[in-house]
Structure 1
């Protein structure tokens, strides 16, 4: 670690919490590895699929609309009820407590693809071995490091918010809720222990690890390959195969060219489910001052001449 990076860091993650991070990464991943043989022989019903898709969609949108576009970048303003709801549902994506998540992502934008970026795939060079190492670091390796981003520097507004501090401390209980709720619903709807067990497996463990790897792919894949129609100061790119699974987050080039924009998929045919949800919130009066992209703004940040 260089002296330039040290001021960006806060305290180290306590050992018990660090062990928990490994558990949150490894246990759902092992469940994903077991998914194919289990599905082939037994244990996958339509109820499991419906619960998995529903919990994936809700928690993914909690992370994309809440943690990312709202709390990190201020793409819109929200009522207190919506603010708390987005923080709770985003936490249930099991991507870390909200203060850690927001501080990491703001630091990523401040130093995108440069020294100080917590998860750039380009930190080790451009050769084949360096890029393989960089991909691992950007995708997962950075999650397993103990050093935490300095929250006082990168998230002072959220540190000052009592509601957010409480939800930050509730990461453990909300993780239990997001894993056991599918089991409870599966058991009650099917009225069987097997229904509870398979729902826990598919809509709990497998859903969490699938969402993990989609989110991490935005950090890794979307900074390595894809199209770059807008002028960003880093290597962010649009990777269309992830557009629906990431709820629009893989339109990453526009996001880095205009970070506060509420819509990332701005070109023809670019589906952005997160932006549509923000539009719904605005129509309901729960969100306002939404930073929608304008033709003039898009023209200014276009990478190609008009």
Structure 2
């Protein structure tokens, strides 16, 4: 398969992209200018976000009730594991290491497939996701970062409020990241634009698949319902919270063996490594954002890097930015 042309990835805007603000690294961020009143479309966006955040918790309650009646099947667990892996790697390999940071280039079918898989995670359309994450890197843990746990300062009350903000609260602020500024390369890519437009349909698909497969395998609709709960809603909830934990916990607790920019407190948090497919080796990622591998030390499992390596051997990705010993050593504390 011959590589198709890929639009070069635009680096996140430099630190000077926003007006300079005084920040000492410990105080609360300066107060934002008053946010604009929400339009009708933005109110719909907030409502949909609330449904996406709350619905999986409702599902957990239903699952608890179903478990009381022992209505859980091996098919539910198998489907949940498969869909968690597919959609999770779509986010980590497709959205993050590929489209956001340009850690590799992919042939067109793989690029589209990974974008579709990531969109089925229910984490937002691909262009909005990439734009927000590039903005996070441009202003990590200082004014301008959309989800820093240090927004309210480093004292105990501020940290408690900040971790809630970094984990989920930022989703409800009317603080949209402009894609034309942070992801112009994706706006110019007609394939990625099509995947972004298809996001609502892909959300329906990510729930319809477990329901349909559960019904087909089990032979009756109750099997479809339990598969929908476990492999649909609960799977989405788990992946949400793992992703959000990288935003919150991986800037608060863990090791920092590599140098990052001033005020950037990204950490390595090993308990999340497997569930996050290697994303919780977050300190190295912030020290070297374009690296296709985040877990570079012995014993640091990185399933996302393993998939990129496999795709490279198949000839489906190329120009992979693998970390070299010299590059890693230069960033080590």
User: What TM-score does the superposition give when structure 2 sets the normalisation length?
Assistant: 0.87
2:293 is paired with a residue of what secondary structure? coil
Q: Which residue of 2 aligns with 1:113?
A: 141
Question: In 1, Cα distance between the equivalents of 2:293 and 2:245?
Answer: 19
Matched, 1:53 2:72: no
**Which is helix-richer, 1 or 2?**
1
Q: For residues 95 and 71 of structure 2, what CA distance do their matches in structure 1 show? A: 33
Superposed CA deviations along residues 241-293 of structure 1, whole A, max 9, x for unmatched, are 00000000000000000000000000000000000000010000000010000
The offset of 1:235, in angstroms, is 0.4
Secondary structure at the counterpart of residue 329 of structure 2: helix
Within 1, Cα distance between the matches of 2:143 and 2:175? 15
Which of 32, 42, 48 aligns to 1:14? It is 42
- RMSD in angstroms over aligned alpha carbons? 1.8
> Could you tell me how far 1:215 is from its partner in structure 2?
0.3
Alpha-carbon distance in structure 1 between the residues aligned to 2:286 and 2:55: 32
**Structure 2 runs not aligned, ≥5 long:** 1-17, 21-31
Distance of 2:64 and 2:85 partners within structure 1:
21
Instruction: Please name the residue that 1:128 is paired with.
Output: 156
In the alignment, structure 1 segments of 5+ residues that lack a partner are none
> Does structure 1 residue 280 correspond to structure 2 residue 310?
yes
Alpha-carbon offset, residue 3 of structure 1: 7.1
**Equivalent position of 1:192 in the other structure:** 220
Greater mean alpha carbon deviation, residues 244-253 or residues 24-33: 24-33
Q: 1:168 and 2:196 equivalent?
A: yes
1:81 equivalent among 88, 109, 115: 109
Of 222, 225, 250, 2:253 maps to 225
Cα distance, 1:146 vs structure 2:
2.6
Kindly tell me the number of residue pairs found equivalent between the two proteins: 300
User: Helix, strand or coil: the match of 1:148?
Assistant: coil
Aligned partner of residue 176 in structure 2, secondary structure: strand
Corresponding residue of 1:72: 100
* Structure 1 equivalent of residue 282 of structure 2: 252
Question: Matched residues in 2 for 1:206 and 1:299: separation?
Answer: 40
1:28: how far off? 1.1
1:31 paired to 2:59: yes
Which of 173, 195, 201 is equivalent to 1:145?
A: 173
Q: Normalized against structure 1, the TM-score is what?
A: 0.95
Q: Choose from 125, 137, 148 the match for 1:97.
A: 125
Distance 1:254 1:16 in 2: 37
Residue 212 in structure 1 maps to residue 240 in structure 2: yes
